[in-house]
Amino acid sequence: MEYRQASSTEIDGTPVHGGTEVVPLIRAGLLHTDTLVDIRRVVPRGIDGGRIGAGAPLAELECDPTIPDVLREACRLAASPQLRNMGSLGGNLLQATRCWYWRLNWPCRLNGGDECFARDGEHREHAIFGNDYCASAHPSDVAAALLALGATLRTTQRELPLAALYRLPTEDDRRTTTLARGEVILEIDVPPCEASVYLKAMDRKRWAFPLVGVAAVRSGGTTRIGLAGVAPIPWLLDDGFESATPLPRNAYKVDVATALVKRARTQLES
Amino acid sequence: MARLIRTEKEVEGRYEEVWLVVEEDALEQWPQGPREIVGRPATRVDGTERATGQAVYTADLRLPGMLHAAVLRSPHPRARVVKLDLAPALAQPGVHAAIGPDDLDRLTFEPTFQGEAVAAVCADTLAQARAALRTVVCEFEVLEPLLDPDEAVRAGSLLGEPRVRTRGDYERGLAQADVVVEAEYRTQVVLHNSMETHQSVVEWVGDGVEVHISTQFIWGIRDGVAEGLGLPPDKVRVICHYMGGGFGSKNSPDDYTWIAAELAKRTRRPVKCALTRREENTAAGNRNATIQRLTVGARSDGTLTALGGEFVNAVGSSGWSSGTEGPMQMLYACDNVKTTTYGAKLNLPPMKAFRAPGFVEGTFGLEALLDELAAKLDLDPLELRRRNYAEHATEGGDYSSKNLLECYRRAEPHWERRHAVRARSTDTVKRGVGMASQIWYGGGGPPSYAWVRIGSDGRATVVTAMQDIGTGTKTAMAQIAAEELGIPLEHVTVSLGDSARGPYASISAGSSTTPSMGPAVRAAAADARRQIEEIAEQRGLAGAPIADVVDVLEDAQILGKGARGPNPTGMQVLTFGVQVAEVAVDVETGEVWVDRIAAVHDVGRVINPLGASSQIEGGIIQGIGHTLSEERLHDPATGRLLTTTLDAYKLPTIADVPEIVSELIDVPDAHLTNLGSKGLGEPPIIPTAAAIANAIRDATGADVRQLPITREEMLRALREAKERERHGVPAGV
């Protein structure tokens, strides 16, 4: 495997920034590449008001007083200090699911197979929305926060709302993002908001992916709720939890999410 | 005088009759209370080596010419190898040898659990070995696994006969009860997760073999390897200077040692076989899951009239059915007890002893059941336990010592906090306090030996071929020798970790290291002191400091030797304790957190209070993981494991650790050896889960019945409690 520094944003190979996701995926045999391109020198990393370089490490965002509470808190509650020192904002948005079947390389639908093993198997950490084809859960706290904030991304090829970065996997296309090969996220634009909060339920106090993450943002008199850990992609909550389709062993996520959403709304009102 | 005796030897609650040569233990115990050195806090004598990376663990070892092994393990819980071709691996760069079941009978064509070893290769580097392993052609015919413990019991897939233990007349006791509570409890599979994975480096030297291994039992490895390789035991040298965690899982040689030995023999090179984290969390052992169907009957004043239980240990494909019924049999005075214990043989990785195997699980069930009873009788849980206190052992010989009532007394201030804790509850966060008792073994036993060497510099070296498994044994042994010799702690060195350098020493399992080794070390130091006193007498220096007496020795040395004497005849040596947990429960989200745990344990004389408090903290933290977040999950259809990495398998982090208050009764067991010390390795993990579960009940009225107490289990229990309340049924039904 070749490893080289990127000299421009024309990337020919697999981009790697902090490496906290790419390296484990290579080790686990889930990502195959001949060339790793280190993009740390070509991706902006500054924080300038509502414009955040995709290379900004979570560790810097978690203590930045100028960004919305929801984003700062989502960064603070993600991973461990060591991982947050390495992991970038852009990379965090692109991390893959923690579904154990997928991570252990089972021939599941995300891995190109024709079965979702989690649906009939062990799925306590899995999706309660959008889970009929693939029950994996998206693990990014930060993505839920940016979704609720209505952030937009600038990539090497285009500008797009964050929501348009993600897609539910289908029979014809198993990918969960719309990013083209060689396309790299450069900057994230975060619109201002009136108030925001991030609440997270996990199996231990720190260093765990969200069972449920709730990002709530009030802006222009309306409140938007983004959820982490409840669907194969970051999930914008529109009409409450009636449309949830929990599996036998993860119905508790509906209760937890309902409670956290109520709590988040209360906090925004106070 | 040496004496041959027939005695019962106990390790991890398992007894066996053995012949033992013992020497009389002529020393009087020291008076109760802290001495000059023993009983006072001492920092670890090897702390600097460990903290600065100078300590060489087996994982650090790089011998000249050493090859690295990689092991092909079955990905299936039950399968048959229909094709195995090692030739492609042998053609890979750096590869020196490859072996399959035809070459080594510890490898198998018919794996009965995921992770069972099928083949192995060794190469110059680990990367080469792993790359070569991927080229091995191995085809499996996948067979239907047996995964359900109850189904195994029904089908008679058992390890050993069901264990039925009865006392009195259980049915009659039940008929005498005013109140009966029945409940089913379940505990999960948890993993040892030793920081240093299981591993060996084996090298053939002359006509013998040297085994560097991360182990809790140097001499057991020596005997096991000798038997396995057909060598005289003296031709096997076993070395383990530092060990990175075992918790009961590192008592035997196991596949990695046999693979390293065979590959070393074929290549005439030292070979290291080290498990990866994923292999460790698949094939290195686990605390088995249990199902406990329990019944308690009591009079309205709380007097227990009957205790009964059906216990199913989901052992895995091999291993043993541990004493999950032990606490129910032993903890309380109850005339009528009946337990049946099954060891279910399944196509899941075999259990290994894990810090108080059986008693951790059984105490969760029993002590949660007792609190359900207390709730039903509207009795104070601590008072209920006092009313059923066992003055005498419930069976067998009587206690050599027992200070559980004193533990209860000392726990009272912590227990009293419950009123203030509850008062801090809000609409959504309920707070409460729970307690649980602990009973366990921990007496150690013979044989164990130590030598003490003193030169003219007045410094002493304790020599014994024991292991320090990370618990601070080296420090405790140095304290005992320094105390007996009357010299500063810094003047004592402890040499251990090598079967070629020192006499036989006991296993470090079953909370036995200090009670087994400590008396031998003290006896050896006393033997040296006696000789020095004789010299002092001759020189007219009676009563002078040792340094002044040995000053004349030049190259001569004082050599003392000591042996562990027998355990008291006709008595059971047991440890006791109580823990009080304070928890908070978010009743909307099911989040549980532990704010504080107070632990009071009775383990006889305490050698090093600092090391002891570390043991208690470690046990409680491991117990919190067991109670709240850790679980090895498998796919229900195939039995393949899902949580073998440290992101998926959730150990507690430092943020999950509450305030821990530890207290020790510190009264020597007058019947036990020249020290009166029992072991403390296991007791602290035993009552933690039940204390937390009982605190949850105190806070919310909900009965949690299953470990770990995840969000879903907590919310289920809360829903159940709400239903009950709606129908006006009291708790505990």
Q: Could you list the pLDDT tens digit for every one of the 270 residues in chain A?
A: 999 999 999 999 999 999 999 999 999 999 999 999 999 999 999 999 899 999 999 999 999 999 999 999 999 999 999 999 999 999 999 999 999 999 999 999 999 999 999 999 999 999 999 999 999 999 999 999 999 999 999 999 999 999 999 999 999 999 999 999 999 999 999 999 999 999 999 999 999 999 999 999 999 889 999 999 999 999 999 989 999 999 999 999 999 999 999 999 999 998
Q: What is the DSSP letter of B370?
A: H
Calculate helix-pair angle for B688-700, B359-377, nearest 10 degrees.
30
C-alpha span between B484 and B480 (Å, rounded)? 6
Length of chain A: 270
CB contact under 8 A, B642 and A104: yes
Q: Considering CB atoms only, which of A80, A204, A262 is closest to B650?
A: A204
Q: What is the ipTM metric for this complex?
A: 0.97
Q: What is the pLDDT of residue B733?
A: 45
Q: Considering CB atoms only, which of B629, B636, B645 is closest to A203?
A: B629
Under CATH, which number does the domain B2-57+444-563 receive? 3.30.365.10
DSSP character string of B496-509: -SBTTSS-----S-
Task: Label residue B51 exposed, middle or buried (CB < 10 Å: 0-12, 13-18, 19+).
Answer: exposed
Interface test mutation site (partner A, options B133, B592, B624, B647, max chain A beta carbons within 10 A): B647
Q: Min CA distance, B714 vs chain A (Å)? A: 10
Nearest to A222 by CA among A258, A241, A196: A196
C-alpha span between B240 and B41 (Å, rounded)? 26
pLDDT digits (tens, 9 = 90+) for A51-79: 999 999 999 999 999 999 999 999 999 99
Q: What is the pLDDT of residue A69?
A: 97
Cβ contact B416:B425 at 8 Å: no
Question: A205 contacts in B (CB within 8 Å)?
Answer: 593, 653, 655-656
Nearest to B344 by CA among B160, B165, B192, B187: B160
Cβ contact B649:B191 at 8 Å: yes
CATH architecture of B289-443+571-726: 2-Layer Sandwich (3.30)
CB contact under 8 A, A205 and B589: no
Interface test mutation site (partner A, options B707, B711, B713, B718, max chain A beta carbons within 10 A): B711
Q: What is the DSSP letter of A229?
A: S
Q: What is the dihedral of CA B239, B243, B246, B247, to 10 degrees?
A: 120
Q: Residue B337: what residue type?
A: V
Q: Min CA distance, B655 vs chain A (Å)? A: 6
Asked if A104 is an interface residue toward chain B (Cβ–Cβ < 8 A), one would say yes
CB contact under 8 A, A208 and B636: no
CB contact under 8 A, A201 and B593: no
Nearest to B576 by CA among B501, B653, B511: B511
CB contact under 8 A, B711 and A104: no
| Average of per-residue pLDDT across B449-458 | 96
Helical ranges in B701-731 per DSSP H:
711-726
Q: What is the pLDDT of residue B551?
A: 86
pLDDT digits (tens, 9 = 90+) for B389-425: 999 999 889 999 999 999 999 999 999 999 999 999 9
What the block records as the tokens of B579 is: 């823990």
Interface test mutation site (partner B, options A26, A200, A256, A260, max chain B beta carbons within 10 A): A256
End-to-end CA distance of chain A: 54
pLDDT digits (tens, 9 = 90+) for B655-676: 999 999 999 999 999 999 999 9
Q: Min CA distance, A136 vs chain B (Å)? A: 14
| Average of per-residue pLDDT across B156-166 | 97
CB contact under 8 A, A100 and B633: yes
Domain ranges (residues) in chain B: 2-57+444-563, 61-143+192-283, 289-443+571-726
| pLDDT > 70: percent of chain B | 99
CB contact under 8 A, A259 and B635: no
Reply yes or no on whether the pLDDT at B233 is more than 50. Answer: yes
* CATH class for the domain made up of B61-143+192-283: alpha beta
Q: Min CA distance, B645 vs chain A (Å)? A: 10
CB contact under 8 A, B653 and A205: yes
Reply yes or no on whether the pLDDT at B24 is more than 80. Answer: no
Q: Residue B3: what residue type?
A: R
**Average pLDDT across chain B, whole number:** 96
Helix, coil or strand: residue B443: coil
CB contact under 8 A, A252 and B635: no
Helical ranges in B433-545 per DSSP H:
473-485, 513-538
Cβ contact B340:B310 at 8 Å: yes
Q: Considering CB atoms only, which of B637, B642, B655 is closest to A205?
A: B655
How far CA B629 is from CA of A59, B215, B693, in Å, comes to: 26, 27, 13
Query: Is residue A217 within a helix (H) or strand (E), and if so which, with residue range?
Result: strand A212-219
Compute and round to an integer the Cα radius of gyration of chain A: 18
C-alpha span between A113 and B149 (Å, rounded)? 31
pTM above 0.95, yes or no: yes
Cβ contact A233:A163 at 8 Å: no
Q: What is the pLDDT of residue A5?
A: 96
Q: Considering CB atoms only, which of A103, A206, A209 is closest to B653?
A: A206
Helix, coil or strand: residue A48: strand
Q: What is the pLDDT of residue B731?
A: 53
CB contact under 8 A, B647 and A98: yes
C-alpha span between B226 and B211 (Å, rounded)? 11
Question: A121 contacts in B (CB within 8 Å)?
Answer: 635-637
CB contact under 8 A, B711 and A101: no
Chains A & B: contacts with CB separation below 8 Å: 72
Q: Min CA distance, A211 vs chain B (Å)? A: 9
The answer to whether the peptide bond before residue B447 is cis (omega within 30 degrees of 0) is yes
Question: B647 contacts in A (CB within 8 Å)?
Answer: 98, 209
pLDDT digits (tens, 9 = 90+) for B557-609: 999 999 999 999 899 999 999 999 999 999 999 999 999 999 999 999 999 99
Q: Domain holding A204: CATH number?
A: 3.30.465.10
CB contact under 8 A, B712 and A252: yes
Asked if A103 is an interface residue toward chain B (Cβ–Cβ < 8 A), one would say yes
C-alpha span between B514 and B506 (Å, rounded)? 10
CB contact under 8 A, A263 and B635: no
Taking an 8 Å Cβ-Cβ cutoff, which residues of chain B contact chain A?
588-591, 593, 628-629, 633-637, 640, 642-643, 645, 647-648, 650, 652-653, 655-656, 710-712, 715-716
Q: Considering CB atoms only, which of A120, A122, A262 is closest to B642?
A: A122
How far CA B284 is from CA of A133, B76, B247, B339, B582, in Å, comes to: 36, 16, 11, 30, 34
pLDDT digits (tens, 9 = 90+) for B356-393: 999 999 999 999 999 999 999 999 999 999 999 999 99
**Least CA distance to B657: which residue of chain A?**
A205
Asked if A241 is an interface residue toward chain B (Cβ–Cβ < 8 A), one would say no
Q: Considering CB atoms only, which of A124, A204, A260 is closest to B656?
A: A204
> Of chain A residues 177-236, which have a CB less than 8 A from chain B?
201, 203-209, 211
CB contact under 8 A, A122 and B593: no
Question: B642 contacts in A (CB within 8 Å)?
Answer: 100-101, 104, 122
Total number of domains constituting chain A = 1
Question: A251 contacts in B (CB within 8 Å)?
Answer: 712
Helix, coil or strand: residue B51: helix
C-alpha span between B447 and B22 (Å, rounded)? 7
pLDDT digits (tens, 9 = 90+) for B39-65: 999 999 999 999 999 999 999 999 999
Asked if A124 is an interface residue toward chain B (Cβ–Cβ < 8 A), one would say yes
- Backbone dihedral region of B510: left (phi > 0), alpha (psi from -120 to 50 degrees) or beta? left
Q: What is the pLDDT of residue A62?
A: 97
Q: Min CA distance, B649 vs chain A (Å)? A: 10
Assess whether the region B2-57+444-563 and the region B61-143+192-283 belong to the same CATH fold: yes
> Of chain A residues 70-89, which have a CB less than 8 A from chain B?
80
Cβ contact B360:B626 at 8 Å: yes
CB contact under 8 A, A260 and B589: yes
Query: Could you list the residue range(s) of the whole structural domain that residue A11 is in?
Result: 2-269
From the centroid of its chain, how far is CA B302?
A: 33
**Least CA distance to A118: which residue of chain B?**
B635
Q: What is the pLDDT of residue B553?
A: 86
Q: What is the DSSP letter of B139?
A: E
pLDDT digits (tens, 9 = 90+) for B63-87: 999 999 999 999 999 999 999 999 9
**Least CA distance to A259: which residue of chain B?**
B588
Q: Residue A123: what residue type?
A: H
**Least CA distance to A212: which residue of chain B?**
B589
Q: Considering CB atoms only, which of A80, A100, A120 is closest to B643?
A: A100
Q: Indicate the pLDDT class of residue B729, thresholds 50, 70 and 90.
A: low
What the block records as the tokens of B188 is: 């999960």
Q: What is the pLDDT of residue B1?
A: 67
Q: Min CA distance, B472 vs chain A (Å)? A: 29
Cβ contact B397:B570 at 8 Å: yes
Asked if A154 is an interface residue toward chain B (Cβ–Cβ < 8 A), one would say no
